[in-house]
């Protein structure tokens, strides 16, 4: 066969990724670069954003077979752990092993603060319906308000797998931005006098109570909402490893090596789903906006309920701890401590804030269980967003058009929630 240098060079060039690089790929590579920059130089949740960003980088290199949709590729195998709901529950196992439920048990009323912070989830559910998402998609988007990445991934894989990439990125991004988003809202909604409130020292909790708590919560929660059993069950098992006193090796493995390994696999899998085809869509912008609103409403809901508890207890509850009702453990609790210390350096709110913080983890899992119970059985037959007709109906002309659309969205959600 006659050798031709030019023909050989052309053949080699056509087999490289450069020849197949498109505008969308370049844009997503830039997005990956931004995430890596935020992780390394700005230190925004680096344990998550760095592998997510690098997974996105790999997925958008043409012919690399590193996207989640590339059958037989490395990251496709990692993605099966997300698709088949394996990795998020394992993350919860590690979170349970890392978390002390003592502050919640010492002050059970903080459970209400965790519940109040979930208002962001339900407000966003209505907002998502208003913007044209169906109820399955809206439910998955709403969970972003709980600031719980594994739960967001878990419910998205069940109810809206085609939106998994933007939902996961929004959830983890806002978790990373907790120290930036929450303080202005907390300061706006509280007075200096309220921020200076010092709370009484928490009472110690017996080992027996700490052992019984995860068992009872698992039994009651999973009986009421079986769909959330993988998340809630693994969370409580991890905590039982911690508190039982007889599984030191399992506890150590769960809170260190296992959660670190699973975090790498989960983050790379999420990043591998961020291809131009799945991410560069109008829905992504809507989800990012809704996620921000969800997080703001969740923070405000917790703080406002904290103010109510402050009034009802005669000033014994610092409203700042209500902001920790989102389930970004322990970042949200640290933010409560930081804002309180800025007003009074001798005020220590960290342990008090851990109560609603832990309650927020449970609350977001319960909200996910409710949505799975309502919509999980029919998810397969729901049309994706792009094919859905105007879900809120045609707006009436005139000044009442916006109100009509909101009322329609609320009515649809209420209708779905009826027994």
95, part of any domain: yes
Output the pLDDT for position 401: 54
Output the pLDDT for position 415: 63
Question: Locate tokens 């394996």: which residue?
Answer: 86
**Integer angstrom CA distances of residue 214 from 100, 211, 362:** 11, 6, 11
Burial of 242 (0-12, 13-18, 19+ CB in 10 A): buried
Average per-residue pLDDT for the chain = 86
Output the pLDDT for position 331: 85
The SS3 of residue 72 is coil
pLDDT, mean of each 10-residue run, the chain (419 residues): 65 71 92 93 88 94 90 92 92 94 92 90 90 90 84 90 87 82 94 92 91 96 91 96 96 96 94 89 89 90 94 93 87 92 91 92 89 70 42 42 55 57
| Residue span of the structural domain in which 317 resides | 40-379
Chain segment 266-314, per-residue pLDDT in tens: 999 999 999 988 888 888 889 988 988 888 999 999 999 999 999 999 9
Closest among 324, 323, 318 to 347, alpha carbons compared: 318
* Counted domains in the chain: 1
Instruction: Work out the angle at residue 216's Cα, subtended by the Cα atoms of residues 375 and 260, and round it to the nearest 5 degrees.
Output: 70
221, part of any domain: yes
Output the pLDDT for position 148: 79
Q: Do residues 126 and 410 lie in contact, with contact meaning Cβ atoms separated by under 8 Å?
A: yes
Output the pLDDT for position 388: 36
343, part of any domain: yes
Contacts of 216 (CB under 8 A, 6+ apart): none
Output the pLDDT for position 377: 61
Output the pLDDT for position 3: 57
Output the pLDDT for position 418: 55
Residue 147 carries which DSSP code?
A: T
**Integer angstrom CA distances of residue 288 from 37, 48, 142:** 19, 17, 11
Contacts of 161 (CB under 8 A, 6+ apart): 83
395, part of any domain: no
136, part of any domain: yes
Closest among 25, 295, 265 to 170, alpha carbons compared: 295
Closest among 151, 194, 192 to 362, alpha carbons compared: 151
Q: How far apart are CA 31 and CA 271, in angstroms?
A: 11
Residue 67 carries which DSSP code?
A: S
Q: How far apart are CA 268 and CA 262, in angstroms?
A: 10
2, part of any domain: no
Reported as half-sphere exposure (CB side, CA atoms, 13 A), residue 318 has a value of 31
Instruction: Work out the angle at residue 291's Cα, subtended by the Cα atoms of residues 397 and 335, and round it to the nearest 5 degrees.
Output: 135
Output the pLDDT for position 400: 52
Output the pLDDT for position 45: 80
Q: Do residues 129 and 138 lie in contact, with contact meaning Cβ atoms separated by under 8 Å?
A: yes
34, part of any domain: no
22, part of any domain: no
In the chain, the largest separation of any two C-alpha atoms, in whole Å, equals 93
Q: Do residues 385 and 368 lie in contact, with contact meaning Cβ atoms separated by under 8 Å?
A: no
The SS3 of residue 255 is helix
Closest among 327, 64, 53, 393 to 175, alpha carbons compared: 327
pTM above threshold 0.75: yes
Q: How far apart are CA 8 and CA 20, in angstroms?
A: 18
Question: Locate tokens 């806002």: which residue?
Answer: 174
Q: Do residues 95 and 361 lie in contact, with contact meaning Cβ atoms separated by under 8 Å?
A: yes
Torsion angle, alpha carbons of 324, 326, 328, 332, to 10: -20
Sign of CA dihedral 169, 172, 236, 268: positive
Q: How far apart are CA 116 and CA 325, in angstroms?
A: 7
């Amino acid at each position: 066969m006659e050798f031709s240098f030019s023909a050989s060079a052309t053949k080699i060039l056509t087999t490289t990724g450069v020849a197949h690089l498109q505008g969308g790929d370049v844009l997503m590579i830039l997005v990956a670069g931004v995430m890596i920059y935020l992780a390394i130089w700005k230190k925004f949740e680096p344990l998550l954003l760095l592998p997510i960003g690098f997974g996105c980088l790999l997925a958008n290199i043409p012919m690399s077979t590193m996207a989640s949709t590339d059958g037989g590729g490395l990251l496709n195998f990692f993605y099966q752990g997300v698709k088949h709901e394996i990795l998020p529950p394992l993350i919860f196992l590690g979170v349970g092993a890392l978390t002390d439920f003592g502050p919640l048990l010492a002050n059970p009323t903080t459970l209400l603060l965790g519940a109040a912070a979930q208002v962001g989830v339900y407000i966003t559910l209505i907002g998502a319906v208003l913007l044209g998402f169906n109820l399955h998609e809206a439910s998955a988007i709403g969970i972003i308000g709980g600031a719980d990445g594994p739960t967001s991934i878990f419910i998205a894989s069940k109810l809206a797998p085609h939106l998994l990439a933007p939902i996961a990125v929004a959830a983890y991004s806002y978790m990373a931005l907790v120290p930036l988003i929450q303080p202005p809202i907390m300061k706006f909604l509280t007075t200096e006098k309220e921020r200076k409130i010092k709370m009484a020292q928490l009472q110690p909790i017996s080992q027996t109570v700490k052992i019984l708590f995860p068992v009872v919560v698992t039994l009651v929660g999973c009986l009421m909402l079986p769909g959330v059993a993988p998340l809630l069950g693994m969370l409580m098992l991890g905590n039982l490893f911690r508190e039982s006193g007889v599984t030191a090796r399992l506890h150590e493995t769960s809170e260190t090596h296992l959660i670190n390994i699973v975090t790498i696999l989960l983050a790379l899998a999420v990043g591998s789903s961020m291809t131009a085809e799945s991410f560069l869509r109008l829905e992504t912008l809507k989800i990012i906006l809704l996620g921000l609103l969800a997080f703001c409403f969740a923070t405000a809901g917790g703080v406002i309920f904290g103010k109510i508890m402050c009034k009802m207890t005669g000033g014994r509850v610092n409203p700042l701890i209500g902001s920790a009702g989102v389930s970004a453990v322990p970042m949200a609790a640290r933010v409560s401590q930081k804002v309180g210390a800025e007003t009074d350096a001798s005020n220590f709110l960290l342990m008090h804030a851990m109560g609603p913080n832990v309650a927020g983890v449970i609350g977001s899992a319960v909200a996910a269980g409710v949505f799975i119970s309502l919509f999980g059985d029919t998810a397969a037959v729901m049309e994706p967003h792009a094919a859905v007709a105007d879900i809120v109906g045609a707006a009436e002309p005139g000044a009442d058009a916006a109100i009509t659309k909101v009322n329609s969205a609320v009515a649809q959600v209420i209708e779905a929630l009826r027994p």
